[in-house]
């Protein structure tokens, strides 16, 4: 029967072409938008995790309450001991310490007078250790615009936009002015050895990246760090596991009332990301429902028009002894075949454009020049295994539903009326 129905679909273009086109367009849009939204979600998680939140973050309770201010006077002490304990109790997670700091960068002229100044947002990471993955995690090599990576103490990286704003060049000396962990004033000279462009407005406006040891010395934070970030070693963020680990860790210190006791937060508990992740899931579900509903309406009307044209065919089949239920079932089977054909074509086209967007993306940097959020300026799609089947949900279901609704007209017509229409 399947071969018989398939031949009918392929030979009678007037009966199958329009439904296949409608299904193809709907599936194409479903696959494309699913991959694009998945890509935006994945890039946003990766960007926030790599630069600010980690998959897990450990800090003092007092620091967590004032985290937007990056208060290093509330930073973690004895950080080496803490990281050793974390590595022992959670061996599947890689732990790194970082210092977030802010201050003023001063550029002097040949006479030692201030030539330019600008506020800087600094990050200190382990750049010089042989086994450190921090440069790779922050994609520093690929983000390098000019110069090279730091190779020794006292060297720094600036955002390319910041360097141009200060009107300096590679090799120039800059002076950082800020405050130490205990509130004293501090200054330290750095040599600019490279510039970066991350493609994120919040980072590219005034970023400076230095080695962790340099920051610890300049800010009087020996064996201290603002935050300790944890990353699952397989590279992906596992929300449920991260939540369980954070809850179990915090339960250990539930009885400790010290404001400097450590607390752990998962990525979803930072920067309002949990609500954003839930919104992505809800949007994907609503999107599929809308496509199913819209295509069902269109295909229902298409089925009604096709059913009216096929009343003569139904009359012949009834005359040959075929029952109404059997005719109705063949309509459903036809819907399944049309849905599969349209879904295959739509999925292929959707994956094709998704691959292009995955490799090239769409640049929205023009709209994010003043943004302070950690979101990428180039939106890319991401092809996932789910996208191979997601199109079949609206593609097959909608045409089957449309044929099922339109096919009810067969039961409302008398056999005698169908024979009469056949005679006409």
Task: Tell whether 38 and 140 lie within a shared domain.
Answer: no
Cα torsion 366, 367, 368, 374: sign? negative
Task: Tell whether 206 and 80 lie within a shared domain.
Answer: yes
Of 182, 211, 235, the domain-final residue: 235
Is 60 exceeded by the pLDDT of residue 260? yes
Task: Tell whether 185 and 88 lie within a shared domain.
Answer: yes
Euclidean distance between CA atoms 323 and 300, whole angstroms? 22
Does the residue 175 lie in any domain? yes
Tokens 């404001």 sit on residue: 259
Give residue-wise pLDDT tens across range 355-412.
Answer: 998 888 787 665 555 554 556 667 788 888 888 888 887 778 777 777 777 777 666 6
Query: How many residues are listed for the chain in this entry?
Result: 424
Instruction: Supply the range of the domain harboring residue 349.
Output: 2-47+275-423
Task: Tell whether 196 and 331 lie within a shared domain.
Answer: no
The runs of H, that is alpha helices, within 175-238 are: 201-204, 212-218
The number of CA neighbours under 13 Å toward the Cβ of 397 is 15
Contacts of 181 (CB under 8 A, 6+ apart): 72, 73, 75, 219, 220, 221, 224
Does the residue 176 lie in any domain? yes
- Tell me the whole-structure pTM to 2 decimals: 0.76
Per-residue confidence (pLDDT) for residue 47, from 0 to 100: 84
Task: Tell whether 137 and 231 lie within a shared domain.
Answer: yes
Task: Tell whether 292 and 192 lie within a shared domain.
Answer: no
Per-residue b/e over 375-395, b at no fewer than 16 CB within 10 Å?
bbbebbbbbeeebeebbbbbb
Is 80 exceeded by the pLDDT of residue 85? yes
Contacts of 211 (CB under 8 A, 6+ apart): 124, 125, 126, 127, 128, 150, 153, 155
Does the residue 102 lie in any domain? yes
Does the residue 399 lie in any domain? yes
Task: Tell whether 80 and 42 lie within a shared domain.
Answer: no
Euclidean distance between CA atoms 283 and 119, whole angstroms? 39
Of 187, 207, 235, the domain-final residue: 235
Task: Tell whether 172 and 62 lie within a shared domain.
Answer: yes
Our count of domains for the chain comes to 2
Does the residue 250 lie in any domain? no
**Token reading at 148:** 């090279």
């Amino acid at each position: 029967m399947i071969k018989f129905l398939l031949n009918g679909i392929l030979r009678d273009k007037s009966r199958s072409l329009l439904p296949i086109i409608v299904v193809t367009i709907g599936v194409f849009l479903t696959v494309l938008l699913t991959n694009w939204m998945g890509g935006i979600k994945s890039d946003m998680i990766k960007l926030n995790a790599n630069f600010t939140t980690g998959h897990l973050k450990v800090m003092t309770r007092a620091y967590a309450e004032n985290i937007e201010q990056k208060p290093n006077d509330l930073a973690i002490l004895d950080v080496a001991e803490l990281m050793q304990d974390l590595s022992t109790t959670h061996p599947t997670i890689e732990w790194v310490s970082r210092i977030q700091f802010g201050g003023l960068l001063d550029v002097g002229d040949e006479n030692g007078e201030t030539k330019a100044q600008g506020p800087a947002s600094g990050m200190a990471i382990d750049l010089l250790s042989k086994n450190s993955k921090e440069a790779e995690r922050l994609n520093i090599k690929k983000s390098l615009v000019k110069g090279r990576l730091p190779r020794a103490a006292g060297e720094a990286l600036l955002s390319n936009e910041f360097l141009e704003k200060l009107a300096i060049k590679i090799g120039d000396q800059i002076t950082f002015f800020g405050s130490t962990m205990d509130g004293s004033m501090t200054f330290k000279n750095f040599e600019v050895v490279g510039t970066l462009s991350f493609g994120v407005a919040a980072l590219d406006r005034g970023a400076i990246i230095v080695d962790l040891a340099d920051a610890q010395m300049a800010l009087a934070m020996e064996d201290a760090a603002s935050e300790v970030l944890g990353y699952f070693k397989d590279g992906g963020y596992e929300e449920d596991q991260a939540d369980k680990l954070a809850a179990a860790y915090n339960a250990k210190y539930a009885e400790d009332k010290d404001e400097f006791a450590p607390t752990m937060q998962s990525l979803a508990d930072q920067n309002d990301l949990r609500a954003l992740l839930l919104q992505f899931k809800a949007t994907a579900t609503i999107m599929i429902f809308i496509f199913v509903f819209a295509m069902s309406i269109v295909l229902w009307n298409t089925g009604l028009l096709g059913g009216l044209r096929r009343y003569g065919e139904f009359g012949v089949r009834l005359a040959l002894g075929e029952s109404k239920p059997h005719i109705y079932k063949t309509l459903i089977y036809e819907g399944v075949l049309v849905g599969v054909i349209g879904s295959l074509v739509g999925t292929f086209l959707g994956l094709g454009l998704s691959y292009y967007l995955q490799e090239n993306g769409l640049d929205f940097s023009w709209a994010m020049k003043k943004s302070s959020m950690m979101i990428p300026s180039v939106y890319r799609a991401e092809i996932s295994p789910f996208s191979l089947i997601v199109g079949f949900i609206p593609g097959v279901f909608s045409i089957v539903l449309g044929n099922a609704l339109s096919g009810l007209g067969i039961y409302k017509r008398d056999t005698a009326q169908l024979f009469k229409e056949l005679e006409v």
